[in-house]
Amino acid sequence: MSIWFNKHLRLQDLTPMLEGTMSEHLGMEFIEMGDDFLKMKMPVDNRTKQPYGLLHGGASCTLSETVGSVAAHLVVDSNKFSCVGLEINANHIRSARQGYVTAIATPLHLGTNTHVWDVKISDDAEKLICISRLTIAVLRKAL
């Protein structure tokens, strides 16, 4: 059973959310959406590397926060609620120098006021690059 609020949502419906954002600047793309997960990819290139030629940890955190925040947004009625990052942590397991990294966000907790998302980032060889946990505040919009 799908966790998404809009049961008719398609992956291509998400792309406009990235226009004019840091996510677009870093080359992020949505690539898959399942009943209880969302996947994005990001290139490892001059925009996402640190000075030593490795994927920047901040770029990994940005990818994690993006995929997790969008996933949280898709779970709630966005006419009534906003989802914002409350806390993120990341364990950088190994580095990447080229290609793409792929992040998959799955929920650990979907509460009324908070969500906790697990985000795993892997390289093209499907080796784990980063494990992140993202806590989201679910805020009621003013009427």
Domain 11-140 sits in CATH 3.10.129.10: yes
pTM for the structure as a whole: 0.96
pLDDT at res. 12: 94
pLDDT in tens, 36-74: 999 999 999 999 999 999 999 999 999 999 999 999 999
Sign for the CA dihedral angle at 6, 10, 12, 15 comes to positive
Active-site positions read 65
